Structure formats: structure tokens, C-alpha cells
């Protein structure tokens, strides 16, 4: 689906950017598969394989970034090189996980041992697919300029995304050592702390006291700035989702987090693309994203409070 969306967009715009979008459409399956393998590695108790694969891709991405800054390669070549780095990471991850696990009989054995692994893998696939579908869909229905404004604004929150990833992977092992009551307290504290960081960071980005935001985005800053308050609200909701979602996963309630993830994904794709098609406005799209982010965060908190904590 992401491939078809990108190729359709490539046929609808000028030839200057069509090559880049075709390259993106071709590497999208590799990127999605690599991301899925990474989750499979973590879910089957092979986190080292995921780390090594991601390190390989990071090294390739740094090289691509250097070429982009130097201006020695065209955008379509840079995208292709980025995809090649993903392909290398995919091969490394595949071998690290072990081919027997990735065969049908191996997957059946892994699923039979613990269905939570399947749910975690499904969550990873849903998350990766949703992001690609929404970005490509916005480009098709609202235009490349709207995508540029949305992506420019979200780029300024890149550090917050990294923080949430570290929270997701770092909080789980610590929670696993705790009693149930302590997990709830830690999840609430983590959510409050990270939400405060998101708010402070967002206000700094919005006020731009040192001119960093405007310098980084250049001409895109004027279109991105009105979107920042809504991204702050979305970030707060995602802090709740990550903190209490991690608690649910550690407590064995992966069926709950999978249902929430699937519902969030469907609502995101339908509502964001609907708004993009109907209004074609970046601020309307980001406003929808903020509502969805707060909703998924609140839903996760409610589910965590109601959940029976013994594993299913």
C-alpha cells in the first residue's frame, strides 16, 4: 500500500521530484520489513540483533546525511542509498534473529510459546505502516506543501521522539522488577516528567528565543510555527500512551495494547486523510493529530487502571 501511494503521487507531480518518490516507494517495503524484524528480534529475546542492525543502518544514514549536506548527490540517489542502508540492516537483523525463527514453522513455534510476542510484533508493524500511510496520504490529498509544513514542525520535536523511544525500552525492564502498585506509581511519574519536558521544549521551540527554530527551518518556519501548540498537546498524550502502555505490556496485557494500537491506527488513517481531503490545511491535520494523541493517551490510562494485572 505505501508503495502504491508513493508511486501514484510520483505520477501526479513534476518530474523533478518524481524520481525521489519512485525511489521512496521502492525502498518502503525494505524499510517496513527491517522495522518488523527489529521488533521480532526484541520480542524473541534477541535485543542484541536489533541493536546491531540499527547501528548498521545508523552508520549508513550518517553517510547519506553527509552526502546530502555536501550536495554531491541528487535526492533520488540519497533516498536509494538510505534504502540500501535499510537493506543491509535487514540482512543483519535476519541473520541475528536466526533463519529458523523466520521460517513458517519457526514462527509457529514462537507464537505457540508465547502469544504476547505476536502481539508485540503486530504493534510494531501497525505503527510503522500507519506513519507511512498518513504521510503519503496527506501528500496525495493535500499536496506536498502541506506535508512540508507538517514534517517541518514535527522535525523540531525529533528529540522528544527519541526520548519516548528510550522511555519505552528503558522503562519496561525496570518495571518488570517491581510490584504492581509500584509500576502504577512509576508509570504516572514517567508520564508526568516526560509530559513536562515536552511542554517546556514545545514552548521553547514556539518562542524561539535564540532564533534556532527559524534558522533550522528557514522559509518553512512561518508555516510550521502555528502547528507547534497542537504538537505539544499530541506529545503529552503520547507520553501517557508510552508510559502506561509499557506498564500494560510488562504486566502481560499485550492484548489490550494491541487493541488500542489498532484502533489508534485506523482512526489516524481515516480521520487524518479525511481532513486532508476535505480541508487540505496543515493546521487542521495537526489539530486532528493532537486530538488523537490525547485520546490514545487517556484511553491507555483508563485501560491500565481497569486492567487485571496477572498476565493473560
User: Which cell numbers hold the place of 100?
Assistant: 529458523
| 253-305 confidence digits (pLDDT tens) | 888 999 999 999 999 999 999 999 999 999 999 999 999 999 999 999 999 98
Domain limits for position 20: 1-113
First vs last C-alpha separation in the chain: 33
Residue 171, in any domain of the structure: yes
Same domain, 102 and 194: no
The neighbour count for residue 120, using CB atoms within 10 Å, is 20
Per-residue confidence (pLDDT) for residue 310, from 0 to 100:
45
Report which of 187, 160, 165 is spatially closest to residue 250, judged by C-alpha positions: 187
Please indicate, yes or no, if residue 120 is contained in any of the structural domains. no
Count of other CB atoms within 10 angstroms of residue 103: 11
CB 180 within 8 A of CB 308: no
* pLDDT number for residue 62: 81
What is the structure's pLDDT at 276? Answer: 94
Q: How far apart are CA 153 and CA 111, in angstroms?
A: 40
Residue 131 lies in a domain: no
Could you read off the pLDDT of 150-202 as tens digits, one per residue? Answer: 988 998 888 888 888 888 878 888 888 888 778 888 999 999 999 999 999 99
Q: Are 251 and 194 in contact (CB under 8 A)?
A: no
Same domain, 243 and 289: yes
Task: Note the pLDDT tens digit of each residue in 40-96.
Answer: 777 667 778 888 888 888 888 887 777 765 666 677 777 788 888 888 888 888 887
pLDDT digits (tens, 9 = 90+) for 44-58: 677 788 888 888 888
pLDDT at res. 16: 54
Q: How far is CA 103 from CA 97, 106, 110, 112, 288, in A?
A: 11, 5, 10, 14, 40
Instruction: Tell me what the mean pLDDT of segment 92-119 comes to.
Output: 62
Residue with cell 509500584: 182
pLDDT above 60: residue 15: no
Sequence-distant (≥ 6) Cβ neighbours of residue 292 within 8 angstroms? 234, 237, 264, 267, 268, 271, 272
Q: How many CB atoms lie within 10 A of CB 50?
A: 23
Tens-digit pLDDT profile for residues 212-234? 888 888 888 999 999 999 999 99
On the question of pLDDT at 101 being above 60, the answer is: no
**Residue 46 domain-assigned?**
yes
The verdict on 82 and 212 lying in the same domain is no
Q: What is the pTM of this model?
A: 0.72
Of 46-50, 114-118, 126-130, 249-253, minimum mean pLDDT range: 114-118
Confidence of residue 312 (pLDDT cuts 50, 70, 90): very low
Burial (0-12, 13-18, 19+ Cβ within 10 Å), 91? middle
Cα angle, residue 130 at apex, residues 124 and 150 outer, rounded to 5°: 125
**Band of residue 309 on the pLDDT scale cut at 50, 70, 90:** very low
**Given the C-alpha cell 502547528, which residue does it identify?**
227
Which residue is associated with the grid cell 516507494? 25
Are 96 and 147 part of one and the same domain?
no
For residues 243 and 172, the answer to whether their CB atoms sit within 8 Å is: no
Domain count of the chain? 2
When pLDDT is cut at 50, 70 and 90, the band that residue 117 belongs to is low
Shared-domain flag, residues 63 and 100:
yes
Same-domain status, 180 and 84: no
> Residue 128: is its pLDDT beyond 80?
no
Shared domain for 291 and 159, answered yes or no, is: yes
Query: Apex CA 174: angle with CA 243 and CA 113, to 5°?
Result: 90
Amino acid at each position: 500500500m505505501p508503495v502504491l501511494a508513493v508511486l501514484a503521487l510520483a505520477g501526479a507531480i513534476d518530474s523533478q521530484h518524481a524520481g525521489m518518490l519512485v525511489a521512496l516507494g521502492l525502498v518502503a517495503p525494505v524499510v517496513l520489513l527491517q522495522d518488523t524484524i527489529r521488533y521480532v528480534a526484541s520480542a524473541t529475546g534477541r535485543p542484541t540483533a536489533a541493536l546491531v542492525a540499527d547501528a548498521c543502518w545508523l552508520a549508513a544514514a550518517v553517510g547519506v546525511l553527509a552526502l546530502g549536506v555536501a550536495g554531491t548527490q541528487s535526492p533520488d540517489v540519497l533516498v536509494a542509498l538510505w534504502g540500501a542502508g535499510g537493506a543491509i540492516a535487514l540482512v543483519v537483523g535476519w541473520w541475528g534473529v536466526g533463519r529458523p525463527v523466520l521460517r513458517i514453522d519457526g514462527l509457529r513455534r514462537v507464537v505457540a510459546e508465547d502469544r504476547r510476542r505476536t502481539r508485540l510484533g503486530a504493534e510494531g508493524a501497525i505503527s510503522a505502516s500507519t506513519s507511512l500511510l498518513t504521510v503519503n496520504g496527506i501528500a496525495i490529498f493535500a499536496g506536498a506543501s502541506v506535508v512540508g509544513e507538517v514534517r517541518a514542525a514535527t522535525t523540531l520535536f525529533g528529540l522528544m521522539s527519541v526520548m519516548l523511544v528510550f522511555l519505552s525500552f528503558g522503562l519496561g525492564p525496570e518495571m518488570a522488577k517491581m510490584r504492581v502498585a509500584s509500576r502504577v506509581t512509576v508509570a504516572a511519574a514517567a508520564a508526568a516528567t516526560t509530559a513536562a519536558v515536552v511542554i517546556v521544549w514545545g514552548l521553547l521551540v514556539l518562542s524561539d528565543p535564540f532564533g534556532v527554530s527559524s534558522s533550522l527551518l528557514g522559509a518553512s518556519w512561518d508555516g510550521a510555527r502555528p502547528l507547534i501548540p497542537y504538537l505539544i498537546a499530541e506529545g503529552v498524550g503520547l507520553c501517557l500512551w508510552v508510559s502506561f502502555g509499557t506498564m500494560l505490556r510488562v504486566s502481560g496485557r499485550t492484548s489490550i495494547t494491541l487493541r488500542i494500537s489498532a484502533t489508534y491506527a485506523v482512526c489516524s488513517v481515516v480521520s487524518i486523510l479525511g481532513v486532508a481531503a476535505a480541508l487540505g490545511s496543515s493546521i487542521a491535520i495537526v489539530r486532528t493529530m493532537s486530538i488523537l494523541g490525547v485520546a490514545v493517551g487517556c484511553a491507555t490510562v483508563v485501560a491500565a487502571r481497569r486492567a487485571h494485572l496477572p498476565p493473560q
